[in-house]
Structure 1
Amino acid sequence: FSGGERHFPECRFATFVRDMDELNDPAKVFTMGLDHFRLVNPNSMTAPVYKASRDRQIATALYERLPVLVNRSDGIEVKTWPVKYVRMYDMANDSNQFRTVEELQEKEGAWPEGGGRWRSGAGVWVPLFEGKMVQAFDHRASGITTVAGNLYRSGQAAAISDEQRHDPDHVAASRYYVLDKGHLNIELAIKDVTSTTNSRSLIACLIPPVGAGHTLPLLRLEISDALERAKAQAILAATLNSTVVDFVARTKILSNHASWYVLEQLPVAPPELFQNTVFGKRTAAEIVCSAVLELTYTCRDMAPFAADLGHLDERGELLPPFVWDDARRQMLRAKLDAVFFHLYGITDRDDIRYIYSTALHG
């Protein structure tokens, strides 16, 4: 930091200050310099937004232990995981490719094929997913209903019922459909629109072979082997949905979007750490993949993901989807959090309680 001939290695910071007396509170005020910016945001070199000095201490420990997802600080990309950020469809620029159900029937002469898919002479039409349709580990959290007369927000989320959630054949309704051009696969998707005042700022889920609008960008794993790609998708989905990573994301999200520059600078455990960390007789990778499979495979449209992970019976046939169970899902999420706290080196219970408290209070 400098101004003319005056140079300062560090400056004092405080955020979300509501009273001038807080500037004398050591729990509220902390110091940062360029070295810290370089550590936690190596690509953008921007200042993180810590609400307390304890946030800085915890974040520093995390970044000293783990690399960022993609580091471009030296002019070349160093990827901890082989990911590519993808926006499949722009909701404005690509709207000429979208069809409503009415347009499918009247203009395309399409008929329903089941599983949310339609078929016409042009080929197969699949749902176009939007960010408001998903939640963590849940690709069918809401359907979309069109509100006539609302010019700015015509598509509104319509939560699915408990009965629908327990139906492995139920597919959340989308407002648009796109033509399957033969390149669709299971993808790891990120809910773009967010806020640091939400209980969760970072939300990721695996989605079936469908279209995805720009409010649901993808982190595409560039791995050719189906099993290894599915494992990587499961591990990264769990990483992004972990409480500890969400804690860090809150210090980076400066608007209402979980943008790529935020995602690429998150601290992530490398693949070898998951393979080399053992709990009892199982590796961290095995525990995480098993939990994510159960959290994700609750509907038949996610069958390709289950098949890639080898979720088969003795005859080699795909096993049925897992039954949606709220209590069971809460336990699995807690198990995943425990694994990630360990991998990220957060073993002090007071630190864990503190991180959870920031999620509860925004």
Structure 2
Amino acid sequence: MNLKGKKILLGVSGSIAAYKSALLVRLLVKAEAEVRVVMTHSATEFITPLTLSTLSKNPVLTAFTKNETGEWNNHVELGLWADLIVIAPATAKTLSKCATGHCDDLLTAIYLSARCPVFFAPAMDVDMFKHPSTQHNIGQLISYGNIFISPEHGELASGLIGDGRLAEPENIVKVLDANFAKRPVANAKRVLITAGPTVEPIDPVRFISNRSSGKMGYAIAEAFAAAGAQVTLVSGPTHLKASNSDIRTIGVETSGQMFEAARENFQSNDLIIFAAAVADYAPRHVAEQKIKKQGDSMTLDLAKTTDIAGTLGTMKKPGQLIIGFALETENELSHAQDKLIRKNFDYIVLNSLNDPGAGFAHDTNKITVIDKDKNVQRFDLKSKEEVAQDILNIVLTKWSEA
């Protein structure tokens, strides 16, 4: 995760949802972030400082001074220490004080001293959340550059059902992690990715396809979108759905449809990644009615499909990068290098079905990346999310050198 080694200051204000801060701290620590917790006085009535200090492995601060010694908890120093501040739960009162600069406790003093990104995760009853004054305060805080993690819809402590539930800790961590995933070099870059299988119909109920799950292509799309790139994902039929709402997804079925979608978007993108498993052949004629079983055998007349990567590779503009994939079973390296040259790729990602845990349907992959200068990088077996990060890092390094 991108939270490793990051300094996170968690502000906890007085809401029944404060109990969720324990899990939030635990998840942040598990992600190897350094966590310090600041609580308002009312928050201590819902969860004890001892609980959060034990989980964070740091003293929890609740006031400007330590009562026993009179030692000052330096709010300016704390505000500058943090790489990110998240206030969760953020009550209507805390939102109001931060929006107006009403600084009467340690948490609001730290907020006013911060130079890092500040995230607010509201928690309150539905009518309080929708009240014009609360919405005004949220608008003010957003105008200051703060980031909001929207509350979730569900049953509230009052018994009402609506918006106002504190976002689940797992979802808060995802938002914070994505903040650190952004890379300046990826901003304003446009990325086109193909993913999944294609389906070539034989008749209204039968088709030719392959075992591709689309997991690798989707993982790559998520990695580049999290880094700040504008991602268009052309996907064949799959049960997957992009979790990042910024990813523009174009659903297709046949290789012809995938070619048309990729061709229409090719010229406007800086990077094209051909991760889809496209059928090489398709039935020359598609029966309008279901083909009835007759005789002991059946012959299908297959026609070669358009070579999407090869065709679009001839259209590459200066400055564009193209990455292809090669799934091989024999003479893997030589076949991949030949494909890289023939299709005008800048990089090719080689998978071998001879490697356990690699290839279709697995949650893991083992890749070798070859560039057009014949440099070879071999990677260990990893999750497909980690493989996507490796591919992302190769591209970011290339863009940084440009």
Same fold (TM over 0.5): no
Greater relative contact order (CA < 8 Å, ≥ 6 in sequence): 1
TM-score (structure 2 length as normaliser): 0.25
TM-score, normalised to structure 1's length?
A: 0.27
Q: Which has the higher strand share?
A: 2
